Chain A
C-alpha cells in the first residue's frame, strides 16, 4: 500500500531554511486524484496546514506562511519537498507530509518528523 516518509534535519538554526522531503512508496505522485501536502503540529498544539502541490506543480499555500514557503515536487523520483525559510522558534513542530483528495481531507499521513529551531 502507499506509504509516506518524511526526512530531513531535526535541528535548524534560527533565520535558516528548514528543508524536508517526503518520499512516496507503493504509488505514484503523478496521479490526477491526489494533492500532496504538508501539515505541522507545534508541541502540545493543534494541526496547521502549510501548503500543498499537485503533480502538475500547481501549489497552494497557507497565507500566514506563504511569504516563506515553497513546496516542490519531483515526479521522476516520486518525492515532494518543503522549504520554509527564515525560521524562528515558533516554527518548532512535528512536520507531517500527507495525501489529500480534492474535497479536502487528508487520507494518508507520514509518521511525522520533529524539527526544532534552536541555535
Chain B
C-alpha cells in the first residue's frame, strides 16, 4: 500500500491532453515539494518534474505539473506514442522521515 495515491491507469489518443493525479496528506504533499518520474517498462525511472513544477533539462514542455493542498497533478499535452509508460509521484514525508512514492499510473496512448 503506497503512501501517495494514484489512479492505476490513464489513457488517451495521440494529440490529446491527459492528467494524472496524486493524493497525499499534510505530512507529505501538504508540506513538501512533489516530484514526478516516468518509467518505461524494463528501464529505470527518469525524473520528469521536480519542486512541484520544474522540468529538468531535456524534458519537453508538453509535461507540466502543479500542486494544491495535499494533491498534485501531472499533465501531458499533445500525447505521443512514446509517452506510454508508468508515472510515479514522490514527496518527502515528515512522519516517515523519508521519501514516499505513489503506486504508479500506467498511461496508455491509444
CB within 8 Å of B: which residues of A?
39, 45-49, 51-52, 60-63, 96, 100-101, 103-112
Contacts and interface: CB of A to CB of B under 8 A. Distances in A.
Interface residues on B, range: 20 to 34
A11 B28 CA distance: 35
Contacts of A104: 32-33, 35, 90-92, 99
- A interface SS class: strand
Interface string B31-57: 011010100000111110011000010
23 contacts: A39-B45, A45-B103, A46-B101, A46-B103, A47-B45, A47-B101, A49-B99, A49-B101, A60-B98, A62-B96, A63-B96, A100-B99, A103-B33, A103-B51, A104-B32, A104-B91, A105-B47, A105-B50, A105-B90, A107-B47, A109-B46, A111-B43, A112-B44
A108 B100 CA distance: 17
